[in-house]
Amino acid sequence: MFKLEPRSAPSKLLTLASPLIALLITVVVGVLLFVSLGKDPVQGLRMFFVEPLKSPYALSELSIKATPLILIALGLSVCFRANLWNIGAEGQFILGAVFAGGVAMQATPETGKWIVVAVLLAGVLGGMVWAGIVALLRDRFNASEILVSLMLVYVAEMVLSYLVYGPWKDPAGYNFPQTITFLEATRVPKLVSGLRFNVGVLIALVAVAGFTVFLYRTFAGFQLQVGGLAPAAARYAGFSSRKALWTALLLSGGMAGLAGALDVAGPQGQLTPYVPLGYGFAAIIVAFVGRLNPVGIVFSAILMSMFYIGGELAQSRLGLPKALTGVFQGLLLFALLACDTFIHQRLRWVNIK
């Protein structure tokens, strides 16, 4: 039988190149997939890797999808480094959108542009509240943060549905489940006229710089990482595991909530049942493909956004199913896991007598 054995010294070069190898494997499998579906693989790959980059409009759409992925993945990277498995960022994204939408709906025609700041801060608060529930149950009852955070995603969806089908439904919306369209004063400012580039891109880049400093240049970031890698050493050094738990989860929830606020106050402009876009789950892949590194997360988020746009284009232009986006995302993750497995371990044949 075959047996996996740890390597004494995994290759540093292969470890760094692992995401690129995983991408190459994804492309190869993608070509086979297009051929099996009877489509031109060159055209198929063009939809995913060329069309999302070929024009200013395409780049603006890419930024709309990459921004929330970057923000959520940054928060998740802190959790994962601290050995906390926040799988429910999607729910925190939704609650951030709900809190932000609640503030946006309070605006009047006389409200100044300052309310955008309040809308975004409300989104951060919403995400932190939802992640705080996870932290509280883990802290007080040692409940699994994986199960709690995941189950809270469905609760968040129910909260959103209750509001848009009930008390927040637009009375002039022809009975559609949606809130009023937010006033212009509450909308995130655009960077380029005629395109959907908005200040969320700048916020994401500032966040990348901030998280880089936090993780690699501050004592608090060092404590979190030591607690994740070596809990016993962290306790011996006097680091508070409870503080690390709350810090990581609240930071992660706040970033997911900010992403939700930017989405509803930007491209969507109102709350609908379709606010959940799967960004919270896709950001898990983004974080790992980016090696839990803020700069790596930027490139990983751009790649994942290309998969989103490529899937939409393949559906409209080539008649392929919408599920192709999820297929490419899943292929990338499994290819990365396979690469990491064989980089850190070797397969050996063992004779059984």
Q: Which of 325, 340, 339 is nearest to 30 (CA)?
A: 325
> What are the pLDDT digits (tens) for 53-92?
989 999 999 999 999 999 999 999 999 999 999 999 999 9
Whether 186 maps to a domain, the answer reads yes
Contact by Cβ (8 Å): 249, 242:
no
* Percent of the chain clearing pLDDT 70 (strictly above): 99
Pairing mode, strands 2-6 and 345-349? antiparallel
Angstrom distance (rounded) from CA 86 to CA 228: 13
Sign of the CA dihedral with 55 first, then 264, 328, and 254 last: positive
Q: What dihedral angle (degrees, nearest 10) is formed by the CA atoms of 47, 273, 207, 137?
A: -130
Number of structural domains found in the chain: 1
Angstrom distance (rounded) from CA 65 to CA 262: 11
Whether 344 maps to a domain, the answer reads no
Residues 6+ apart with CB under 8 A from 224: 78, 81, 82, 215, 244, 247, 248
User: 2: which strand partners?
Assistant: 349
Q: What dihedral angle (degrees, nearest 10) is formed by the CA atoms of 228, 153, 298, 54?
A: 160
User: What counts of helices (H) and strands (E) characterise the chain?
Assistant: 13, 2
Angstrom distance (rounded) from CA 182 to CA 111: 12
Domain of residue 194 covers: 67-291
Q: What is the mean pLDDT of the chain?
A: 92
Which residues does the chain have with pLDDT short of 50? none
Whether 330 maps to a domain, the answer reads no
Whether 259 maps to a domain, the answer reads yes
Whether 27 maps to a domain, the answer reads no
Whether 222 maps to a domain, the answer reads yes
Angstrom distance (rounded) from CA 130 to CA 89: 9
Angstrom distance (rounded) from CA 211 to CA 348: 40
Whether 37 maps to a domain, the answer reads no
Whether 137 maps to a domain, the answer reads yes
Angstrom distance (rounded) from CA 22 to CA 290: 12
**CB burial string 264-301: b at 16+ within 10 A, e below:** bbbbbbbbbeebbbebbbbbbbbbbbbbbbbebbbebb
pLDDT at position 353, please? 60
Sequence letter at residue 98: V
